[in-house]
Structure 1
Amino acid sequence: MKQALVEITQRIQERSAATRRPYLARIDQLAQRERGADRFSPANVAHAFAGMPQHDKIRIVVERATNIGIVTAYNDMLSAHQPYESFPAVIKDEAHRHAATAQVAGGVPAMCDGVTQGLPGMELSLFSRDTIALGTAVALTHDVFDAALLLGICDKIVPGLLIGALHFGHIPCVFVPGGPMSTGLSNSEKARVRELAAQGQVGRPQLLEAEQKAYHGPGTCTFYGTANSNQMLLEAMGLHVPGAAFVHPHLQLREELTREAVRTALSITRAKRFTPIGRLVDERAIVNAMVALLATGGSTNHLIHWVAVARSAGILIDWTDFSDLSHVVPLLARVYPNGQADVNQFQDAGGPGFVLRELMDSGLLHTDVMTVDERGMRAYAELPHLEGNRLVWQRLPAESGDRSIVRKASEPFSPSGGLRLLTGNLGRSVIKVSSVPEDRHIIEAPARVFEDQESLQQAFKAGELDRDFVAVVRFQGPRANGMPELHKLTPPLAVLQGKGFKVALVTDGRMSGASGKVPAAIHVSPEALAGGALGKVRDGDVIRLDADAGTLNALVDPAEWAAREVATLSPERAEINNHGLGRELFAGMRRNVVTAEEGACSWL
């Protein structure tokens, strides 16, 4: 194993000792209790199972059968989650085949960021993660489940489910994905039409036609954003049935993988090989997830979400850990926006299994971790398929199916991962460099300051931005307005970069897994509303973003910089941020949230 991986893991273990130890003690104590049906009073038992068929009641109460709780993020607003409508029936049927039972313990909200991009609803998006965690806790707090299956895929949903599940760390848990939609309009063509629309060269009908060809049916969106990064990370942590991530929703193989998730959950209950999720998700598993993220150029959202996930298991990580890992983890995949391929092409070229095998063989993953599959981490380097009606796994070919999409560790796209930590007098931030051209890794230009993304778009349409500049978009952090993703800024900035101007974005907001070829220093912490240095920037200040050196600075005389007052959010903008479309209900989360680098948690 690479020495750097060992050392980073060890320092995380040492840093986390004071929080991890009591966490494990708590879950061990809970795991030693009697089953819920045996521990509860008759009235509690009657309420818990009143809605079940009589034979299931007998199984649970008399025969003491295993009872699986299903926590589902089903709705048909999200294309990725629409297929979950039929999953509970399949899960219950498979449980019955093994003399067990299953109940839908609860549903959690699941919003589509694609619907809310650039709209007020996006200001609820980040906090929906903690709301989902709360919903997971409400579902599992019925406390009658011997194991849990967690049904979720998309951006905030998987982290929320995982945070919630880790607060019930004494329960074995398996995540059940649904798979991507089939390939439609290519992601690169979709981006091209968006840029044309930003320039007014195509109208709304042409843009709508392109978008509907790209997002056209059930399943996860096919670009490698946060949703599909979630699936990669769950494979690397051993929380899926091996190879389940990117199998299409309506294939027979998908149903068999869902049934296998039931069988897997049953195999890790107390009577067999009891491995609760709080034990499985240890420091090594968290590091494996971080490595997988870096090796695939995954979503920058996970520099927030996985910090929160780790905290839920008593583990403390920060952006320095990501940055140090990035220096030793090679980039092995190029999937849009980190390349031209979509996730279906990634899967056909070798997919998560190929990447994980290469990382393991290179000493860049912990292979001695527990996984939901009893075969361990090596099982995640195999590909599931059907032989008749039987689910089996086979080894992946030694060579990549397409070297333009996925490569061996001996011939990576880059010797280092796709993320960088930036530090300087503007604070700490991160940048996704895997999709940024090398000649754009360093940008030095005057600042143009905005307090919302609408103002930047208006300036672009007015022709005010046809020059070299660094767009500073502040008051977009978690305390200010829930830290929305700023995807609507990508087309105009990409257009300006395409014209030959040197442009960059610096913001305390997010860009997520869809951040593209424009250099973007994001998640700047402390955020402007918390007195962060972004509040000191003035129009015309020269900003230097150096992704190679890992620095982000305003090139202002130090004495003048120290004396400058921090700008405050205008009352008009504050009023907008605090009201309308449910934003009032999240005021408590905005007040209590910690910094992005601490996971933007509202529950600490």
Structure 2
Amino acid sequence: MPQHPLLVEITERIRQRSATPRDRYLQHVAAAQQRGTARGRVSCTNLAHAFAASPTDDKAALRGPAWPNLAIVSAYNDMLSAHQPYEHFPVLIKDAARKAGAVAQFAGGVPAMCDGVTQGQTGMELSLFSRDVIAMATAVALSHNVFDGALMLGICDKIVPGLLIGALQFGHLPVVFVPGGPMTSGISNAEKAKVRQLHAQGKLDREALLESEMKSYHGPGTCTFYGTANSNQMLMEIMGLHLPGSAFVNPYTPLRDALTRAAATRAAQITTFGERYTPIAEMIDERAIVNGIVGLLATGGSTNHTIHLIAIARAAGILIDWGDFDRLSAVVPLLARIYPNGGADVNHFHAAGGMGLLIRELLDAGLLHEDVRTVAGDGLRRYTQEPYLDGERLIWRDAPARSLDADVLRGHAAPFSADGGLRLLTGNLGRAVIKVSAVKPEHRRVEAAAIVFDGQDQMLDAFKRGELHRDFVAVIRYQGPRANGMPELHKLTPALGSLQDEGFHVALVTDGRMSGASGKVPAAIHVTPECLSDGPLARVRSGDLIRLDAEAGTLEARVDAGEWQQRRIEHPSLDDNGWGVGRELFANARNFASGAEQGAISFNAAMGMPIGVPT
């Protein structure tokens, strides 16, 4: 199938836009490649330290030049359900590596916070910047410079982007991402959402809410709704960093363990010691980034990736912006409906045909670059297959020819909608993104008076007092990266959803995030410039008429232009944002963060340009 002309055009524009920083990045990678095998460059003292505690056989292998050494970088902890299964992965990886003629060492751990635990709490203000901490921790793990490849063990929201940003600083190394899989399905997402709304309305007590939540989040594995964690897994697969079909296999199953072993084997094969050397710098190029955007749009994935993909791309010297997402969204059809964009969870998506069917449909529609390098080595068409066990033997077969549940996954000829449902909004309030894949057409245009809040708790207090039973646009200000770390505002969803269900026209406008929680209520999020950077959203006053039109792509305050320009911006005191739960340590991250459309990066991620320079 010929590639869609817009896909080709946008990829070429990104390539031209990125020419200077990408060339500088690749020069650094080439210099690292030319220096040769890592262990050959360190002193005997260095090398002895590197394997002093290793088993005798591993010492013998590592003191010579014949075996590759694989780094394991893991986000394991046993509080995160998604990462708890990683506890036993290193044993499987080390055993498989030995059988493949390699050594695997646990190079380092990275922090892994659970947004599900911190959601709506003060700790969520560390969440976005934890991505950059993870990137730096990944660099620390690999900085020992005795490795020939790496396996990244991470799943959740900021963790996969952080691991990838860190790994890209070692672009000469082959890197394989190793997923852990989703937990088995609990109660239906519709039932979970209904209980949350009833609790928000004061009709169910805390005990009833907790019982419902425990039936939703009940065991090891990723949360099963299609938020940022599972969007991460989709991205790693469609960008060629997973083994084909491995994203959504449940943990603690024979197939999951076989895939983990196979990841280690493959990592050994694609080092410089093997015949198919495949460094990550060559896998993550402009085509892979565009494939990631297409996958996000086709599945209605998390809006967090309008930030993370930009940061990931910049770590590889590639410049993208929200205009690229918006233009691709116009031609990429929505092929999946997974909660919060539908009733199904990721297990249902996987059973209906999963990533193999999705990738084949997008390839056949000319909406993906097939000629990319992947850890599987054979271009993206290899990812139209799914793994299974024939006895104890891991093999791959073609994904189903057609969806096994058209309510969850469809082909490109009969999509859920003709576009990807992610839009760019512009106007006198700045630039923002909105996810409309779960917003009914009649709710996509809201024009109502603003009610201004400087935090989500202020709005919820007003809701509890019964002051919000009317048409309005909730303007939640000072939620950007520099103000308070840009927390997700997920706990607003039940209140706004219940008001919409009562027939009121409501919308949210904020310089904060909603992420995978973006659902049926129209939400203009990531407004940039943020309020603390004197963004125009800070000029809004309660009573101003706000127009949010997702179809036209506009976000405007309907205020006389002269009055609008004369309004002074007076920032509220944000002193309380700088202390408690470790926020003191993140002052520099807040002070130096770029805007959301520049990836909300708190350091110069090998881009060859200062943070915050417009693309």
| TM-score, scaled to structure 2 | 0.97
Is 1:453 matched up with 2:456? Answer: yes
2:299 maps to a residue whose letter is T
Match of 1:532 in 2: 535
Identity percentage of aligned residues: 63
| 380-389 or 476-485: bigger deviation | 380-389
- Checking the alignment, whether the CA contact within 8 Å between 1:242 and 1:380 is kept in structure 2 is yes
Q: Distance in 2 between matches of 1:367 and 1:34?
A: 30
Query: How far off is 1:215 after superposition?
Result: 0.2
Match of 1:385 in 2: 388
Q: Distance in 2 between matches of 1:488 and 1:26?
A: 44
Q: CA-to-partner distance for each residue in 1:486-513, whole Å, 9 max, x for gaps?
A: 0010010001001000000000000001
Q: CA-to-partner distance for each residue in 1:134-177, whole Å, 9 max, x for gaps?
A: 00000000110100000000000000000000011110000000
Match of 2:205 in 1: 203
* 1:414-563 alignment, distance < 5 Å: 414-563=417-566
Match of 2:219 in 1: 217
Is 1:582 matched up with 2:582? Answer: yes
Match of 1:345 in 2: 348
2:561 maps to a residue whose letter is P
Match of 1:374 in 2: 377
Match of 2:315 in 1: 312
Decide which of 12, 15, 37 is 2:14's aligned counterpart.
Answer: 12
Query: How far off is 1:64 after superposition?
Result: 2.8
* 1:244-323 alignment, distance < 5 Å: 244-271=246-273, 272-323=275-326
Query: How far off is 1:51 after superposition?
Result: 1.1
Match of 1:601 in 2: 601
Task: State the aligned residue count.
Answer: 601
For the residue of structure 2 that corresponds to 1:597, the secondary structure is: helix
Query: How far off is 1:55 after superposition?
Result: 1.1
Match of 1:69 in 2: 71
- Checking the alignment, whether the CA contact within 8 Å between 1:446 and 1:539 is kept in structure 2 is yes
Q: CA-to-partner distance for each residue in 1:463-484, whole Å, 9 max, x for gaps?
A: 0000000000000000000000
Is 1:400 matched up with 2:400? Answer: no
Q: Distance in 2 between matches of 1:279 and 1:195?
A: 47
Is 1:129 matched up with 2:120? Answer: no
Match of 1:179 in 2: 181
Q: Distance in 2 between matches of 1:567 and 1:336?
A: 40
For the residue of structure 2 that corresponds to 1:170, the secondary structure is: coil
1:474 maps to a residue whose letter is R
Match of 2:29 in 1: 27
- Checking the alignment, whether the CA contact within 8 Å between 1:75 and 1:85 is kept in structure 2 is yes
1:412 maps to a residue whose letter is P
For the residue of structure 1 that corresponds to 2:426, the secondary structure is: strand
- Checking the alignment, whether the CA contact within 8 Å between 2:475 and 2:510 is kept in structure 1 is yes
Match of 2:591 in 1: 591
Q: Distance in 2 between matches of 1:36 and 1:526?
A: 43
Q: Distance in 1 between matches of 2:377 and 2:160?
A: 23
Q: Distance in 2 between matches of 1:371 and 1:18?
A: 24
Structure 1's consecutive aligned runs of 4 or more residues displaced over 6 angstroms after TM superposition are: none
Q: 1:9 to 1:63 in 2, by over 3 A?
A: closer
Decide which of 101, 107, 112 is 1:99's aligned counterpart.
Answer: 101
Decide which of 59, 62, 80 is 1:60's aligned counterpart.
Answer: 62
1:424 maps to a residue whose letter is G
Match of 1:154 in 2: 156
For the residue of structure 2 that corresponds to 1:317, the secondary structure is: coil
- Checking the alignment, whether the CA contact within 8 Å between 1:38 and 1:61 is kept in structure 2 is no
Query: How far off is 1:34 after superposition?
Result: 2.9
Query: How far off is 1:185 after superposition?
Result: 1.1
1:550 maps to a residue whose letter is G
- Checking the alignment, whether the CA contact within 8 Å between 2:185 and 2:224 is kept in structure 1 is yes
Match of 1:228 in 2: 230
* 1:78-93 alignment, distance < 5 Å: 78-93=80-95
- Checking the alignment, whether the CA contact within 8 Å between 1:170 and 1:278 is kept in structure 2 is yes
2:309 maps to a residue whose letter is W
Query: How far off is 1:62 after superposition?
Result: 2.4
- Checking the alignment, whether the CA contact within 8 Å between 2:528 and 2:595 is kept in structure 1 is yes
| TM-score, scaled to structure 1 | 0.99
Match of 1:190 in 2: 192
Q: Distance in 2 between matches of 1:315 and 1:280?
A: 13
Match of 1:38 in 2: 40
| 25-34 or 153-162: bigger deviation | 25-34
Match of 2:613 in 1: none
For the residue of structure 2 that corresponds to 1:544, the secondary structure is: strand
- Checking the alignment, whether the CA contact within 8 Å between 1:296 and 1:418 is kept in structure 2 is no
Match of 1:145 in 2: 147
Q: Distance in 1 between matches of 2:453 and 2:360?
A: 45
Query: How far off is 1:355 after superposition?
Result: 1.0
Q: CA-to-partner distance for each residue in 1:170-190, whole Å, 9 max, x for gaps?
A: 100000000000000111111
1:561 maps to a residue whose letter is W
Query: How far off is 1:11 after superposition?
Result: 0.2
Q: Distance in 1 between matches of 2:359 and 2:566?
A: 50
Q: Distance in 2 between matches of 1:82 and 1:373?
A: 26
Q: CA-to-partner distance for each residue in 1:94-142, whole Å, 9 max, x for gaps?
A: 1111221000000000000000011110000000000000000000001
Match of 1:120 in 2: 122
- Checking the alignment, whether the CA contact within 8 Å between 2:39 and 2:145 is kept in structure 1 is no
Q: Distance in 1 between matches of 2:300 and 2:567?
A: 37
Q: Distance in 1 between matches of 2:431 and 2:64?
A: 58
- Checking the alignment, whether the CA contact within 8 Å between 2:101 and 2:268 is kept in structure 1 is no
Is 1:358 matched up with 2:344? Answer: no
Match of 2:413 in 1: 410
Query: How far off is 1:63 after superposition?
Result: 5.2
Q: Which runs of 5+ in 1 are unaligned?
A: none
- Checking the alignment, whether the CA contact within 8 Å between 1:310 and 1:316 is kept in structure 2 is yes
2:586 maps to a residue whose letter is F
| 226-235 or 33-42: bigger deviation | 33-42
1:532 maps to a residue whose letter is G
Q: Distance in 2 between matches of 1:275 and 1:496?
A: 52
1:60 maps to a residue whose letter is L
Is 1:49 matched up with 2:51? Answer: yes
- Checking the alignment, whether the CA contact within 8 Å between 1:467 and 1:501 is kept in structure 2 is yes
2:589 maps to a residue whose letter is M
Q: Distance in 2 between matches of 1:376 and 1:283?
A: 15
Q: Distance in 2 between matches of 1:167 and 1:40?
A: 19
Q: Which runs of 5+ in 2 are unaligned?
A: 605-615
Q: Distance in 2 between matches of 1:538 and 1:37?
A: 62
Match of 1:109 in 2: 111
- Checking the alignment, whether the CA contact within 8 Å between 2:39 and 2:147 is kept in structure 1 is no
1:298 maps to a residue whose letter is G
Q: CA-to-partner distance for each residue in 1:298-334, whole Å, 9 max, x for gaps?
A: 0000000000000000000000000000001000000
Q: Distance in 2 between matches of 1:397 and 1:218?
A: 27
1:91 maps to a residue whose letter is I
- Checking the alignment, whether the CA contact within 8 Å between 1:224 and 1:514 is kept in structure 2 is no
Q: CA-to-partner distance for each residue in 1:328-368, whole Å, 9 max, x for gaps?
A: 10000000001000000000011111111100000000001
